[in-house]
A and B are shown apart, each in its own frame.
Chain A
């Protein structure tokens, strides 16, 4: 993916806070990124790093009490961050759709698969249920579910976990989106089913040219599937760049530590694994310097007193680390 095409979506300096006991806590701080058509963007980070909010705030799917403080989300000439709720609903599930982690809980157990699959078509395309059904059958076939006509009349409990996730993907594709945001879509599944689902998504992407924002903690999936990587830490994007650079030459010490803590097939089982000591700061902790400084193996004085801005480390690459400052000498 290159800069030749115009970005499909551009997030600029997005900050989100959530009011907890009356005092606002900043959960997303100045996040910027772009997604290009056809690209798979992986969003990685620890739980609580803001990776899910960083993606879902694009369509303003925010936790209760949260609000966007500043920044913009440009999509097809509109700023989604400022769009009235009414208009945003026309984008959600249509141009930008979502797939969530738990296919067991994101489907309604008392409605048939057909009804749930038809819903986005009825909502966004104004079709009636009977008009939508032929399209639903095609969608199920598209995601590799056989005997689609009969399956539509069945309920979620008649489907296995992998099959339910296929249904969720069919729902996300119903209105021909250009971006699908998938939050840990295969985490609850067996590895073999995971591989099938990811192969399916890859094939669908090739076919329709849609872009995928993939939130995952599985760096194996990132290595195998992603074009571009965003690394979240403490509500910030601390590193961004093409996937091959992230794995070959990560710029941020946090990225390096993360990659080092993975057991590799080449590791000697006798040696202790490298770990990142300590815990990420909690959201209400306001450190004066870099949020990773207390855990960073490469920390120096400046890191504790001033928060680093993003330094460009190459084409579409950046890192929020003072070691990337031009003229830095170790």
Chain B
């Protein structure tokens, strides 16, 4: 399968904010040697807790941040080597949908202007704005009479449709959606998930879907990457990841999701050694891992291909941790 986005051994560090009068704190690695590829017309889910590096990774993918090392290649162009007009042009290929459609749409702009904004930002001349915007709205299931109205006149689900129409404006090959359904009501979540899947089929779009809703991830995604402390600890085809979970952190995450079937009781598998974090050489999950052994503290495990296409960063992966 051709690849639309390639993330090659990308690392991003930030300096932790010190006090008001200090010159700066320690370095903090937000994304730590991440390699991922997004195949055309597929959906890659990225899951993990807050602080796991999901949002920093998103910024690197969109070229908002530059990596300290490694490369992000979108549609064959390496983002970190571009700047100015070239970067703006390349960025048209990757658009974003945010979590909260209440704060991500400018309340003072009409829907038509919101939807056309990415084209204008790219410096494109739009011959017939109304027609272009109406076509985009139709794609996402909204009527053209929405064009001259303002965001506050719409429900959360409709606003998220507007946000998706805006993301489609530049005809991107991929859309990065950061928790696009988690602020919506359940009955609306299903509508938006169906819409994302329909657009994927109709337009051949690829998605990166950042979410903590694992049932939605399983439903929408072809592949899933699980992040923990800036690292991808497990990567597999979605069905495989849920059927044959290998990494203890992924298992912890799955055990924490309350199952909507009362018969399936979930029990949290967790341990904390209270050390305040893993040592610099240790596996990133070793301080919370219920199965941590001596070996886990000495050396950070490399990727192991536990099964075809199923990568795990755990010493037990090969042994078949299940």
Q: B188, B197, B218, B262 — which one has the most chain A CB atoms within 10 A of its CB?
A: B262
- Chain A: interface secondary structure? helix
A217 within 8 Å of B by Cβ?
Answer: yes
A309: chain B residues at CB < 8 Å are none
Which of A217, A224, A257, A261 contacts B259 (CB under 8 A)? Answer: A224
- Shortest CB-to-CB span from A169 to chain B, Å, is 17
Contact A192 B261 (CB under 8 A): no
A273 within 8 Å of B by Cβ?
Answer: yes
Instruction: Give the number of A-B contacts (CB < 8 Å).
Output: 107
A190: chain B residues at CB < 8 Å are 49-50, 212
Residue on A nearest B270 in the bound complex, by CB? A192
Residue on B nearest A188 in the bound complex, by CB? B50
A223: chain B residues at CB < 8 Å are 258-262
Contact B268 A243 (CB under 8 A): no
Q: A191-B256, A192-B268, A247-B261 are in contact. Are A273 and B186 (CB under 8 A)?
A: no
Q: How would residues 237 to 263 of chain B score, 1 for a CB under 8 Å from any chain A CB and 0 otherwise? A: 011001000000000110111111110
A262: chain B residues at CB < 8 Å are 186, 190, 215, 260
Contact B187 A257 (CB under 8 A): yes
Q: A191-B212, A192-B268 are in contact. Are A221 and B258 (CB under 8 A)?
A: yes
- Kindly specify which of A9-17, A264-272, A299-307 makes contact with the partner chain: A264-272
A82 within 8 Å of B by Cβ?
Answer: no
Q: A194-B256, A224-B265 are in contact. Are A265 and B185 (CB under 8 A)?
A: no
- Chain B: interface secondary structure? helix
Q: A190-B50, A192-B268 are in contact. Are A273 and B259 (CB under 8 A)?
A: no
Residue on B nearest A268 in the bound complex, by CB? B219
A276: chain B residues at CB < 8 Å are 187, 190
B262: chain A residues at CB < 8 Å are 223-224, 243-244, 247
A287 within 8 Å of B by Cβ?
Answer: no
Within 8 A of A (CB), among B15-40: none
Q: A272-B194, A276-B187 are in contact. Are A47 and B156 (CB under 8 A)?
A: yes
Q: How would residues 257 to 280 of chain B score, 1 for a CB under 8 Å from any chain A CB and 0 otherwise? A: 111111001101010000000000
Contact A275 B259 (CB under 8 A): no
Contact A263 B219 (CB under 8 A): yes
With an 8 Å Cβ cutoff, the count of chain B residues facing the other chain is: 39
B216 within 8 Å of A by Cβ?
Answer: yes
Q: A47-B156, A195-B268 are in contact. Are A273 and B190 (CB under 8 A)?
A: yes
A325 within 8 Å of B by Cβ?
Answer: no
A257: chain B residues at CB < 8 Å are 187
A274 within 8 Å of B by Cβ?
Answer: yes
A269: chain B residues at CB < 8 Å are 218-220, 238-239
B155 within 8 Å of A by Cβ?
Answer: yes
For the complex, give the distance between the alpha carbons of A32 and B184 in Å.
27
B191 within 8 Å of A by Cβ?
Answer: yes
A259: chain B residues at CB < 8 Å are 260
Q: A46-B187, A47-B156, A192-B49 are in contact. Are A263 and B258 (CB under 8 A)?
A: no
- Shortest CB-to-CB span from A195 to chain B, Å, is 4
A110 within 8 Å of B by Cβ?
Answer: no
For the complex, give the distance between the alpha carbons of A47 and B185 in Å.
7
For the complex, give the distance between the alpha carbons of A241 and B189 in Å.
25
For the complex, give the distance between the alpha carbons of A199 and B266 in Å.
11
B193 within 8 Å of A by Cβ?
Answer: yes
Contacts A191-B257, A263-B190, A265-B242 known; 20 new A-B pairs at CB < 8 A: A46-B185, A46-B188, A190-B49, A192-B270, A195-B255, A219-B186, A220-B260, A222-B260, A223-B260, A223-B261, A224-B259, A247-B260, A247-B261, A261-B187, A263-B215, A264-B260, A269-B220, A273-B190, A275-B190, A279-B155
- Interface, chain B (partner A; CB < 8 A): 49-50, 155-157, 185-191, 193-194, 197, 212, 214-216, 218-220, 238-239, 242, 252-253, 255-262, 265-266, 268, 270
Which are the 10 A-B pairs with shortest beta-carbon distances?
A220-B258, A263-B219, A276-B187, A273-B190, A261-B190, A195-B256, A46-B185, A190-B49, A191-B256, A224-B258
**28 residue pairs bridging A and B, Cβ less than 8 Å apart:** A46-B185, A190-B49, A190-B212, A192-B252, A192-B253, A192-B268, A192-B270, A193-B49, A194-B256, A195-B255, A195-B256, A220-B260, A221-B258, A222-B260, A223-B259, A224-B262, A243-B262, A247-B261, A258-B186, A258-B187, A263-B190, A263-B193, A263-B218, A269-B238, A272-B197, A273-B219, A275-B187, A279-B155
- Interface, chain A (partner B; CB < 8 A): 46-47, 161, 190-196, 198-199, 217-225, 243-244, 247, 257-259, 261-265, 267, 269, 272-276, 279
